[in-house]
Amino acid sequence: MGDRAIARNRAGELTVGVIDLLFKSQKGWEVRDYKTDVSLDVHAYEGQLQAYRNALDQVGHHVVNAELVHVRSSDE
C-alpha cells in the first residue's frame, strides 16, 4: 500500500498525515517514510513515525517497524 492518508482525533486534536509506504511483512506491519532533506536528522521525525504507529494501532494494525528512507543522493 502506498501513500495512505491517516487522520486521528484524540482529545479534540486532529492529526492528519500521509504514510508513504505501509506493508505487511512476515514480521507484521511496517512503515517507510521517504525524505528528501539535504541533511537528514532522524530524531526530528521520531514524533511523526510514532504518530503513524499510534494511528495504525487504533485500527488494529500493530507496526513492528517504522523507518525513514533518505532518497536524496549526496551528489545533489
Give the model's pLDDT for residue 74: 63
Q: How far is CA 67 from CA 11, 29, 45, 48, in A?
A: 27, 12, 10, 11
Residue 7 forms part of a structural domain: no
Residue 54 forms part of a structural domain: yes
Residue ranges of the chain with pLDDT lower than 70? 1-10, 12, 73-76
Give the model's pLDDT for residue 76: 54
Give the model's pLDDT for residue 56: 92
Q: Which domain holds residue 59?
A: 18-70
- Residue bearing cell 486534536: 13
Which of 65, 62, 44 shows the shortest CA–CA distance to 54? Answer: 62
Residue 11 forms part of a structural domain: no
